[in-house]
Amino acid sequence: MNTEVNFAGIEMKNPVTVAAGTFGYGREYSNFFDLGKLGAIITKGTSLKPKSGNKPPRVYETPSGMLNSVGLQNPGVEFFASNDLPFLRKFDTKIIVNACGSSVEEYVELCKILNTLDIDGVELNLSCPNVKEGCMAFGNTYEGVKKVTSEVRKVLDKPLIVKLTPNVTDIASIAKGVEDGGADAVSLINTFLAMKIDINTRKPVLANITGGLSGPAIRPIAVRMVYEVSKAVNIPIMGLGGIMSGEDAIEFMLAGATTVSIGAGNFVDPYTSLKTIEGIENYMKKYNIENVTDIVGVVMGTEIFDNLINEDKK
C-alpha cells in the first residue's frame, strides 16, 4: 500500500498537509505528535515585514464552522528564517511557506528571499488586499492571478503553489490564470467572506466586522470547486475546506485533489491530521487500493454535470 504522492515536484510520504494559519509554525502541535508523520507542513502566512494583524475579537465559532479575522499576523520572513525554520527542519516532513503580500513588488521581494531558504515549496496566498490596485484581491480575476504568479515565477525556482479565494463567480477561470502564469499547482479553497451579528448588542462579533468562514459548513462547496477546477487545469490540486476525517479527504481526492489540507479541524482536535492519514489508509485497505494516487479524480456518474460546465464555457 503506497501513500506517497508527488505534488508539484514535492515528494510527500502521504497526501495530508495542514492549512496555513491553523498550525502556526508547528511548535504547539509538536507537543501532541511527531510532525514528521505529516506529508507536509504549510506554515502560517508569512510576509516581508512583521504584521500585527487585526484588532480583537478576531475569532468566533459558528454552526459547523468558525469565523476568523486574524489579519495575517506574523513575525516576518527574517524571523521565520532564523527562528522557526530551524525548528521545522528537525522533522522528517516537507516545509511549504505560505507567502502573503499587498503588492506585486512585495510578493516578488518576499519570494526572492524564500528562494534562498531550505524549504520545499511556496504557497502564494492571493487573497490579500492589493493596495496599489484599489484594495481589490489579487485572486479575483484571471488577469490579476496570472500577473502576480508570472512575476513570482521569474524569481522562484522552488515549486510554486497558488492558493485561491472562493469569493469569485468562476473559480475554474481563476485557476486557469494560475496555470497560465507558470505555477506548479493550485490550492483551494480559502475561506468565504462572512459575518455574524450579536442581536443583543446589535454589533458585529468581530472587530473587523467581517471574517473568513471555514470548517465543515463549507466542505460541499469546496468539493464542488475542486471538481470544477480539475476539469479546467492540468496542474495538480490541493483540496481544503472543512476536512475532518479520512472520509472527507477521500471525497476531495475523488473530486480531483492530489493532496488535502487540514484547517479548522486542527482547532477541534489536534490529532485530526493523523486521524485523516489513518482514515485514508483504512479506505485503501477496504477497497484494495495499492496506490493512493489511483483514486484522484475518479468520481463516477458526473457526465451530466460535466456537460453543464462545458455549456457554461461556451
* Residues that are catalytic: 128
Question: Closest Cα partner for 48 from 113, 137, 104, 126?
Answer: 113
- Strands 237-240, 185-188: parallel, antiparallel or unpaired by DSSP? parallel
Question: Closest Cα partner for 54 from 212, 211, 208?
Answer: 208
Instruction: Find out whether 17 and 39 touch, Cβ atoms under 8 Å.
Output: yes
The amino acid at residue 211 is: G
Q: Give the Cα separation of 151 and 79 in Å (integer).
A: 25
Query: Residue 68 is inside which H or E element, if any?
Result: strand 65-68
95 bridge partner residues: 41
For cell 470547486, the residue is 225
Q: Count other Cβ atoms within 10 Å, centred on residue 142.
A: 17
Q: What is the DSSP letter of 218?
A: G
3-state secondary structure of 106: helix
Question: Closest Cα partner for 147 from 184, 182, 189, 123?
Answer: 182
